[in-house]
Amino acid sequence: MHRIDCPWCGVRDEIEFAYRGDATVKRPEAGAGVDAFYAYVYERGNPRGWHIEWWHHAAGCRQWIKVLRHTLTHEIRATAKAGDTVTAPKP
């Protein structure tokens, strides 16, 4: 069980959350072209290691939060509000 420290609600079980994927992808500018939008919609870094990701506290405060989680150990090292910056440790 992941225990996720929601910045708004405190530590809660993962069952309250919905996973929403990689939080490092950035929507390109409108005129950025097909390649940029293809990369935005489809391509993912998919690291085996630290991953910055969105979780939606669907059964709680309903905020989207950022979580720094390790994809091999499932360790959660940091959580943050959606607008905050989270940086992954060097592998």
Partner 1 sequence: MSRYSAFQLFVNAFTGHRSWPRAWRDPAPKPAYDVVIVGGGGHGLAAAYYLAKEHGITNVAVVEKGPIGLGNTGRNTTIVRSNYMFPQNHHFYEWSLKLWEGLEQDLNFNAMVSQRGVLGLFHSDAQRQVFARRGNSMRLSGIDAELLDRDQVRAFVPLVDLDNGRFPVMGGLLQRRGGTARHDAVAWGFARAADRRGVDIIQHCEVTGIRVAGNRVQGVETTRGFIGAKKIGLAVAGNTSRLAQMAGISLPIESHVLQAFVSESLKPMIDCVVTFGAGHFYISQSDKGGLVFGGNIDGYNSYAQRGNLPTVEHVWSAGVTMIPALSRVRVLRQWGGVMDMTMDGSPIICRTPVENLYIDGGWCYGGFKATPAAGWCHAHTIARDAPHEFNRHFTIDRFREGLMIDERGAGPSPWLQ
Say whether residue 71 binds partner 1 (CB under 8 A): yes
Q: Which of 28, 74, 31 is nearest to 53 (CA)?
A: 74
What is the rounded CA–CA span in Å between residue 5 and residue 16?
11
Judged by CB under 8 A, which of 23, 69, 79, 86 binds partner 1?
69
Q: What are phi and psi of 34, to 5 degrees?
A: -65, -45
Rounded (to 5) percent helix, strand, coil in the chain? 10, 35, 50
Length of the chain: 91
Closer Cβ to partner 1, 53 or 61, answer by number:
53
Quick check: 3 binds partner 1 (CB under 8 A)? no
The one among 5, 9, 12, 22 contacting partner 1 by CB under 8 A: 22
Closer by beta carbon to partner 1, 74 or else 81: 74
Determine the interface stretch with partner 1 among 42-50, 57-65, 78-86 (rule: CB under 8 A).
Answer: 42-50
